Structure 1
Amino acid sequence: MKKELSFALNYALNKGFQIHPDAFKILENVDVRKLEKIIKEIVKEKTKQKLFQISQDDLEVYLGIKDDPTLQCEVKVISDPTSKITTGEGVKGYNALFSSRFNKFKRIVSERPESRMLKSIASTKTAKTEDDMYVCGLVTNRVSERNITKLILEDPSGSFEGIIFDKELQQLADTLLSDQFVMVRISIGKNSGLLVKDIILPDIPDQSGNRSESETYAAFLSDLHIGSKYFMEQEFTEFVQWLSSPDPVAKKIRFILIGGDAVDGVGIYPNQDKELVCQTIEEQLEKMESLLDKIPKNVKIIIMPGNHDPGRRALPQPAIPKKYNSSLWERENVVMVGNPAVISLNGVKVMMFHGQSIDDIVKTTPGLSYDKPTTVMKHLLKARHLSPIYGSQTPIAPEMQDLMVIEDIPDIFHVGHVHRAQLDMYKGILLVNSGSWQKQTPFQASVGMTPNPGIAIMVNLKTFQVLHENYNSNLDNVLQS
């Protein structure tokens, strides 16, 4: 008997375990370098279950010969814009979009006690009361000058300018985004001006959260940029190979979520062709398919588009069009969704958004930066909207309804785009920015952006424990939290 096998058997026996003869036959054919780890992991897991026999089934499940029947793998698409896109035309379309935004938010704040006292903006201009009033609307402007801040809101009845004197309230007003919905408490000042005495954001209520019944893991990835010569193909291949290994976490992964920019695209920026190894969208998608094909078939892969992927660039984005690579759509373990989308994984709600609006928010809000994307993600949750600013860098289509309002409250909020992997929590919601699998590009270097690529983030959907594997050899490349 090999000494490694003898050691493994003695370890199990000393822990009070019996080993079935059929299991012994499997152990004889296992790589001797992995025997000790395998036996220790199985003993640990079976001890938790208070079962003290190692069977053939135990080894076949562990080694991936047989699927683990105790692991759930249920995917449901709760919200996907692909089939809902009904773009309006011109002014009519944008009027419909912002009317939809206002009405959706009005329903959201109707659950708050203050909503019973809401008045239209037009009615406040003729009001003759000393009592405070409540109005709501979209922020059209905010201006700070000297010791005061002016806030202009608009609702379907009109607009008004409110003055803020309170310093803390001024700081809150400075974080408001253009076209964001807010509710404010106002009073009539001595000179008949309107004073803002409180600002109430739609925000997310505290969450207790949904959890998976089994210890199934989901892996969160984004911004692969396949087709770019800076795509970390070797590192990504190592991750894919790890998924088929006997590692105890790898064996429990049943979901992989790719949050946009799966490929690098074509003609996205000037002279991009000089940085491509695959010159056409079709080549890039075929390359992606060949890489994803090596992922075990019991793993569900959810793919959403980003600003580099083929199809419409404006938000909301439909799923990557079938015409570019129909075989991706036909795979049983692949789910194609639009941007943004809400997915249920074993009952855990995951809101996926590529994150294009981060560009606009970082540029217009003091104190925010690309280095800390989860701080921007908190702003989006507070605003209950994924892309509130209209007319800036992020293109927004004139949809007949606003599909970017956060109506379904998630358990996990997954974003990419900025190539910085970071974790955080907000009101019980796990925030995951999943970084990238693309090395620093010349453009990023020219503007001082330092990505931390090659980090695979895994979440235990039962406990919400987060683990990660770093495939980047750079010792400074770490996951932020």
Structure 2
Amino acid sequence: MPLKVERKCTNYKNCSDKFTCPSTDFTKQYCSIYLARLEQMEVLLMDRIKQKWGNKYPVCKLHKLSEEQYTKCIVIGTLFKDQKLKPSVLKRIAEGNQLVPQPILTHFTDESDVLFMEDEVQRYQLSGIEHEKIALHLQLLTYWISGLLGNTDLISRVCRVVIAGNSIRNKPPKAKPTISLVSRTTESPETIEAVKNFDSFLLKMCQVIDIDIMPGEHDPSNHILPQRPIHFCMFPESSLYKSFNQVSNPYFCEVEGIKIIGTSGQPINDILRYSDITSNLEAMESCLIWNHLAPTAPDTLGCFPFYNKDPFILTQCPHVLFAGNQEQFGTKFVTGEDGQKICLISIPDFSKTFQGVLLNLKDLSCKSISFQTN
């Protein structure tokens, strides 16, 4: 005889009414749902904002940001990611008409992806805080120079560090326009914070080694060449040390009889922009052949209008010619007409590659050192 089991009953209610499509009209645009999403989420977020911060920070609309000039504020908006690999209906149509073949992809993120925040009126591109991205890499560099990491015998023979520009900023500043009798811009809080962080980094370095700080294209110095040394008031702590040296761009020094000259990279980058030369080492070699550090100045590269002299002419042959803020590390030996041996060094952009270059003064050989964390 089969066993009888009584199934338990539960109270049930279907609450999915809001997920029922009100009509079959698909001709409307999607802007309405984005607007509704923003308005409804804003009500929920305002309650959470009051719980977390109270009245500590003002809530600002995106289109009011440039007017209010808050140091810190709260903004509410919809995040949108612009992705070139994202599937597109238009691309599919083009593929169907055999206009543009669509690659088969299963993952659509790319390094070129850009994140935006937008509300009913305005859209802003989000960039994040750059200095936080490289803080750990700078910490590794500090540990290495201090002898806390790596080969201590090798590190003990490192006598000097040259920072070849763009140490405070590696891109144009986010300046806010102001209206007055004279047109000017004011520095953003991010730049001020970057200066403080850089001074703290240099303070640790100056305690163990001599450092030369060159200005770069985007650093707070005059824009045209030659760039003056960054003012010591930017470095209230590290400038107290004798090991701290602000130098010009271009920079020429002599260490143990080795003549070293170079720039923060602007002349080399300008040559690549306005010629058929595609290699930075080739551009540097051309500078040696032309006997000039900045051959495109003042045509396409700004420089001071010197009278009766040109300081960029190479009056003596260096042992080392370097260029900072390049795409990647590279080195090459060039022999001069009189048999001189010149070492060309392409110093990579630290903010992108997290690499430094170690130069051996005995044989002018050099190698890159990585301070990557992964």
TM-score, normalised relative to structure 2:
0.55
Counterpart Cα distance in 1 of 2:204 and 2:162: 16
Q: Which amino acid aligns with 1:306?
A: G
Is residue 261 from structure 1 mapped to residue 174 from structure 2 by the alignment? no
Partner of 2:248: 338
The alpha-carbon distance between structure 1 residues 409 and 296, as it changes in their structure 2 partners (threshold 3 A), is: same
Counterpart Cα distance in 1 of 2:226 and 2:367: 31
Counterpart Cα distance in 1 of 2:199 and 2:306: 32
Preserved CA contact (<8 Å) 1:244 1:296: no
Secondary structure at the aligned position of 1:433 is classed as: strand
Is residue 354 from structure 1 mapped to residue 274 from structure 2 by the alignment? no
Q: Where in structure 2 are the equivalents of 1:99-114 lying within 5 Å?
A: none
Partner of 2:145: 243
Is residue 436 from structure 1 mapped to residue 336 from structure 2 by the alignment? no
Please state how far the C-alpha of 1:283 moved relative to its aligned partner. Answer: 2.8
Secondary structure at the aligned position of 2:350 is classed as: coil
Please state how far the C-alpha of 1:265 moved relative to its aligned partner. Answer: 6.8
Please state how far the C-alpha of 1:303 moved relative to its aligned partner. Answer: 1.0
Q: Which amino acid aligns with 1:394?
A: L
Counterpart Cα distance in 2 of 1:228 and 1:423: 28
Preserved CA contact (<8 Å) 1:259 1:414: no
Preserved CA contact (<8 Å) 2:137 2:373: no
Give the CA RMSD over aligned residues: 2.6
Matched residues, number: 226
Preserved CA contact (<8 Å) 1:265 1:281: no
The alpha-carbon distance between structure 1 residues 473 and 298, as it changes in their structure 2 partners (threshold 3 A), is: closer
Q: What stretches of structure 2 of length at least 5 have no aligned partner?
A: 1-128, 177-187, 336-340
Counterpart Cα distance in 2 of 1:243 and 1:302: 14
Partner of 1:234: 136
Partner of 1:418: 326
Q: Where in structure 2 are the equivalents of 1:75-474 lying within 5 Å?
A: 228-229=130-131, 232-245=134-147, 247-264=152-169, 268=173, 279-295=189-205, 297-366=207-276, 368-369=277-278, 372-390=279-297, 392-400=299-307, 401-427=309-335, 428-439=341-352, 453-472=353-372
Please state how far the C-alpha of 1:313 moved relative to its aligned partner. Answer: 0.3
Secondary structure at the aligned position of 2:156 is classed as: helix
Counterpart Cα distance in 2 of 1:327 and 1:393: 37
Q: Which amino acid aligns with 2:284?
A: M
The alpha-carbon distance between structure 1 residues 270 and 394, as it changes in their structure 2 partners (threshold 3 A), is: farther
Please state how far the C-alpha of 1:397 moved relative to its aligned partner. Answer: 1.8
Counterpart Cα distance in 1 of 2:193 and 2:364: 37
Preserved CA contact (<8 Å) 1:228 1:264: no
The alpha-carbon distance between structure 1 residues 421 and 269, as it changes in their structure 2 partners (threshold 3 A), is: farther
Secondary structure at the aligned position of 1:290 is classed as: helix
Counterpart Cα distance in 1 of 2:233 and 2:365: 39
Identity of matched residues, %: 20
Please state how far the C-alpha of 1:266 moved relative to its aligned partner. Answer: 8.1
Secondary structure at the aligned position of 2:282 is classed as: helix
The alpha-carbon distance between structure 1 residues 267 and 229, as it changes in their structure 2 partners (threshold 3 A), is: same
Please state how far the C-alpha of 1:392 moved relative to its aligned partner. Answer: 4.4
Query: Could you say which structure has the larger radius of gyration?
Result: 2
Please state how far the C-alpha of 1:394 moved relative to its aligned partner. Answer: 1.9
Q: Map Cα deviations across residues 122-169 of structure 1 (whole Å, 9 max, x no partner).
A: xxxxxxxxxxxxxxxxxxxxxxxxxxxxxxxxxxxxxxxxxxxxxxxx
Q: Which amino acid aligns with 1:254?
A: C
The alpha-carbon distance between structure 1 residues 363 and 412, as it changes in their structure 2 partners (threshold 3 A), is: same
Q: Which amino acid aligns with 1:301?
A: I
Counterpart Cα distance in 2 of 1:290 and 1:229: 12
Please state how far the C-alpha of 1:342 moved relative to its aligned partner. Answer: 0.8
Q: Which amino acid aligns with 1:397?
A: F
Secondary structure at the aligned position of 2:331 is classed as: strand
Counterpart Cα distance in 2 of 1:456 and 1:265: 16
Please state how far the C-alpha of 1:419 moved relative to its aligned partner. Answer: 3.2
Partner of 2:92: none
The alpha-carbon distance between structure 1 residues 279 and 472, as it changes in their structure 2 partners (threshold 3 A), is: same
Q: Which amino acid aligns with 2:283?
A: V
Preserved CA contact (<8 Å) 1:357 1:394: yes
The alpha-carbon distance between structure 1 residues 268 and 406, as it changes in their structure 2 partners (threshold 3 A), is: farther
The alpha-carbon distance between structure 1 residues 399 and 320, as it changes in their structure 2 partners (threshold 3 A), is: same
Q: What stretches of structure 1 of length at least 5 have no aligned partner?
A: 1-226, 272-277, 440-452, 475-481
Secondary structure at the aligned position of 1:248 is classed as: helix
Please state how far the C-alpha of 1:421 moved relative to its aligned partner. Answer: 1.6
The alpha-carbon distance between structure 1 residues 380 and 230, as it changes in their structure 2 partners (threshold 3 A), is: farther
Please state how far the C-alpha of 1:282 moved relative to its aligned partner. Answer: 3.8
Partner of 1:132: none
Counterpart Cα distance in 2 of 1:242 and 1:313: 32
Please state how far the C-alpha of 1:382 moved relative to its aligned partner. Answer: 0.9
Counterpart Cα distance in 1 of 2:298 and 2:193: 34
The alpha-carbon distance between structure 1 residues 417 and 468, as it changes in their structure 2 partners (threshold 3 A), is: closer
Greater RCO structure (CA 8 Å; 6+ sep): 1
Counterpart Cα distance in 2 of 1:391 and 1:465: 33
